[in-house]
Amino acid sequence: MAARYLIFEDGSVFAGEGFGSSAVTFGEVVFNTSMTGYQEIITNQIYNNQIVVFTQPNIGSYGIQRNIYETIVPTIKGVIVRSLSDAAIDNGRQLTLDKYLQQMNIPGITNIDTRAVVHKLRKAGKPLKGSIVPVPDDHAFDQLHATVLTNQQVAQVSTPKPYPNPGTGLSIVVIDFGLKHGILRELSRRKCNVTVLPYTATSEEILRLDPDGVVLSSGPGNPQNVRKSVLEMIRTVQTKVPLFAIGLGHELFGIANGANVKPIPVEHHGMNHPIHEIITDHIVYATQGEGYIIDRNSVDRSQLFITYVDMIDDSVQGLRHRRYPAFSVQFFPDGAPGPDETDGLFDEFVDTMNRREAHH
C-alpha cells in the first residue's frame, strides 16, 4: 500500500497507508465512535462532504454485504481507520471494503493514529477541513486552503425524481434530504406504501398524493442552508397529515416551528449516549449523527414540547407539536447501524395515522 496522508487546514499531517480510491478529496473531518456497522456508516448520506475517522480500530472484517447499504452511491469523502482488515472472502461475488471504495471513488487511509486525530478534533472545538493526499506538500495545503466546501449538500444527495417503494398498507410520502435506507426498511416492515419525493417537493405536490403521513428524512449539513421553501412546506403539511421527522428533518421541523439551530463544537457521531425519554422517564440508546442541534432556549413552548434530551450534552433530541400530530427526533430510530430501542417510534407514527383513519 502506498503512503497517504490526512492533512488539516492548520498544517498538521497524519501519515498512513492508502486503500480504496487514490483520488484526492476534501471534506470536513469528523469521528464516529460506533463499534459496529462500518458499511452502513460509510453509505449514510449524512457524511456527504465529510471524511470519517472510525475510532473502532478494526474495520473491514466482513467486507461489503449486499443487503445493508444505506444508499447506493455514497458521497462520503474519505474513510480513515487504524487497522483495515480485509477478511478472507471466499465467495467471489462479495466485495472487500478496499475494492468497494475503489469502485465508489472514495479514498481510505489505514494505519493512522486515529486516537490522536480524535484528540485533535475534540480539542479544536470547531469543524476542521481536511484533505486526503498522496504527498503532504505546499501544493496540497494550497489546494486545501483554496477549496471551499459546498453548503448545498442536500441538493447533492436528494433524489432528483420521485420514486415509489410500494406496499399494501398506509400511504406515506418520504421527503428525501439524504435518505438512509433504514427509514424505508422500517416502513416496509410495517407494509407501508411509500413514495419518495425530492426535497424540493411543495406541499401541493405532497398532498396531491393524499398520503396518510409524511416523513422528513435525515440528511447532511447545516439546515439553515436548505432552501427556505422547505419550511413553508413543513408548516402546511403538519396541519394536514401526521408528520415524523428524523435528523436533518427534525432540525428543519424545529426551525419551521420557530426554533433555532446551533452548531455543536465537536460533531457527535456514535451510539452510546444515554437519551432521556421525558414522558416515560426511560433512558434509551440510539445512533446519533449531528453537527447541529436545536437550541433549547429557542423552543417556543406554546408550539412545541421537548420529548427527548441527550443526558451527556443536554441537547434537544426530540420535539412534538402541541396542536398537530407531528413529532421529530434528532437521532436515528431506524438504527442501521445501532440499537433498536427507539424503533417503536415508527409504530407510534403508524398508530397515529391509523387513529386518524378511524376518525375520518
Please choose, out of 44-52, 138-146, 267-275, 324-332, the segment that lies near other proteins by the rule CB under 8 A. 267-275
Among 11, 73, 115, 137, indicate the residue that binds other proteins (CB under 8 A).
115
What is the Cα–Cα distance from 110 to 82, expressed in whole angstroms?
Answer: 5
**Amino acid in position 307:** T
Residue 95 in the binding site for other proteins (CB under 8 A): no
CB atoms within 10 A of CB 343: 19
Among 282, 322, 323, 355, indicate the residue that binds other proteins (CB under 8 A).
282
Residue where the block lists cell 437521532: 331
Q: Please count the residues of this chain forming the interface with other proteins, following the rule CB under 8 A.
A: 50
Specify whether the backbone of 247 is left (phi greater than 0), alpha (psi in -120 to 50) or beta: left
Q: Least distance to other proteins from the beta carbon of 184, Å?
A: 16
Contact 166, 173 (CB under 8 A): no
Q: Least distance to other proteins from the beta carbon of 286, Å?
A: 11
Q: Which of 327, 334, 247, 261 is nearest to 290 (CA)?
A: 247
Q: Which of 109, 116, 131 is nearest to 11 (CA)?
A: 131
Among 335, 346, 350, 352, indicate the residue that binds other proteins (CB under 8 A).
335
Residue 188 in the binding site for other proteins (CB under 8 A): no
Structure-block grid coordinates of residue 268: 457527535
Among 24, 68, 95, 306, indicate the residue that binds other proteins (CB under 8 A).
68
Residue 30 in the binding site for other proteins (CB under 8 A): no
Q: Which of 336, 312, 352 is nearest to 40 (CA)?
A: 336
Residue 338 in the binding site for other proteins (CB under 8 A): yes
Q: How far is CA 225 from the centre of its chain?
A: 16
Q: How far is CA 111 from the centre of its chain?
A: 26
Please choose, out of 127-135, 226-234, 299-307, 331-339, the segment that lies near other proteins by the rule CB under 8 A. 331-339
Residue 94 in the binding site for other proteins (CB under 8 A): no
Beta strand pairing call for 50-54 and 78-80: parallel
Q: Least distance to other proteins from the beta carbon of 6, Å?
A: 12
Please choose, out of 53-61, 72-80, 164-172, 239-247, the segment that lies near other proteins by the rule CB under 8 A. 53-61
Among 9, 17, 24, 35, indicate the residue that binds other proteins (CB under 8 A).
35
Q: At what angle are helices 248-256 and 229-240 packed, to 10 degrees?
A: 80
Among 6, 7, 8, 14, indicate the residue that binds other proteins (CB under 8 A).
14
What is the Cα–Cα distance from 56 to 114, expressed in whole angstroms?
Answer: 9
Q: Return the number of the residue (46 or 118) whose C-beta is nearest other proteins.
A: 118
Which residues in the 117-176 window bind other proteins by CB under 8 A?
A: 118-119, 122
Residue 36 in the binding site for other proteins (CB under 8 A): yes
What is the Cα–Cα distance from 133 to 15, expressed in whole angstroms?
Answer: 10
Q: What angle do CA 241, 243, 245 make, to 5 degrees?
A: 165
The residues of the shown chain that bind other proteins, judged by CB under 8 A, are 14, 31, 33-37, 40, 55-58, 61-62, 65, 68, 82-83, 85-90, 113-116, 118-119, 122, 266, 268, 270-274, 281-283, 285, 311-312, 335-340
